[in-house]
Amino acid sequence: MGQAMLKGWLDAGFSSIQVLENYPSDTLSSLAIELNPADIITDENQCVILAVKPQNYREVLDEHLANIHPEAMVVSILAGIPLSALQNALPGRRIVRAMPNTPATIGQGLTALCSGSDISAMHKDFATRLVQAVGEVVWVDDEAMIDAVTAVSGSGPAYLFHFVEALTAAAIDVGFAPDMAEIFARKTITGSAALLENSKEDAAQLRENVTSKGGTTQAALDVLMDEPGLRSLMREAVRAAKKRSEDLSKI
């Protein structure tokens, strides 16, 4: 995710980007950045993006704390690590917590941001502009909402991908060859998502537009919308993801 956001910043024209990575990928090494520079820019305007595995963040901060200015802004994309833990590990720094999702890799992300009360309007504006380079931004006032964001938009792409898997399997079941089933399932979903993106009508209305009373779509929806159906399964799935996010923040 950090690499995807980095590409967005480069495309948006952000400069003076330095990256510290002990094991850089070939892709990272090929980007127009200062990779593991000998001289690190450390001043009050510094913005540090913390994009490491959550279980390793204390080790990383212990190694690089001297390179983070006491008045720097630190933007964390670590899942499950609350502001309080980051503030304890980075005393005095302005902390912003971000929850992006994987569509950020193509500039279509949705990222929720929250921060401590000490964040200035200037820092908040800069954090917004940073994340807008990879998609849309929503600020939330209550950090507890980050767990809900994780369950809906953070994990949401996986739900959709699984739906495509299920639709592909169903297509095979009714006679499609596997490769043709994949094409039909994938293009149906991507085309429908584009229609949803470009329509002024909400999802419920678009569903109704496709559905004729007593027709084939209605027959399928009678199954999906019955109880227990897709709505209740999705509610249960999102609640499970939210609980797991809450549990991780307590570890």
Is the pTM value of this prediction over 0.85?
yes
Residue 232 has pLDDT above 90, yes or no: yes
pLDDT at position 182:
97
Q: What's the whole-number mean pLDDT along residues 82-90?
A: 93
Per the model's pLDDT, the better-predicted residue between 164 and 9 turns out to be 164
Q: What is the mean pLDDT of residues 227-241?
A: 95
Dump pLDDT digits (tens) for 127-185.
999 999 999 999 999 999 999 999 999 999 999 999 999 999 999 999 999 999 999 99
53 is in an annotated binding site: yes
Tell whether residue 140 is among the known ligand binding residues.
no
Give the model's pLDDT for residue 10: 87
52 is in an annotated binding site: yes
For residue 121, say whether it is annotated as part of any ligand binding site. Answer: no
User: Is 156-248 assigned to CATH 3.40.50.300?
Assistant: no
The DSSP element (H or E) to which 18 belongs, if any, is strand 18-19
Residue 225: φ, ψ to 5°: -100, 0
Strands (E) in 31-180, as ranges, are 34-35, 47-50, 73-76, 94-99, 109-115, 135-139
Q: Do domains 2-147 and 156-248 have the same CATH topology?
A: no
Q: Does residue 4 register a pLDDT over 70?
A: yes
Q: Where are the domains of the chain?
A: 2-147, 156-248
Tens of pLDDT along 38-76? 899 899 899 999 999 888 899 999 999 999 999 999 999
Identify the CATH assignment for 2-147 out of 3.40.50.300, 1.10.645.10, 3.40.50.720, 3.20.20.70.
3.40.50.720
Structure confidence by residue, pLDDT tens digits, 182-212 = 999 999 999 999 999 999 999 999 999 999 9
Q: So what's the pLDDT on residue 8?
A: 84
pLDDT band per the 50, 70, 90 thresholds, residue 7: confident
Instruction: Kindly report each contact of residues 147-151 with a partner whose C-beta sits within 8 Å and lies 24 or more positions away, as own/partner.
Output: 147/242, 147/245, 147/246, 147/249, 148/242, 149/99, 149/112, 150/79, 150/99, 150/241, 150/242, 150/245, 151/238, 151/239, 151/240, 151/241, 151/242, 151/245
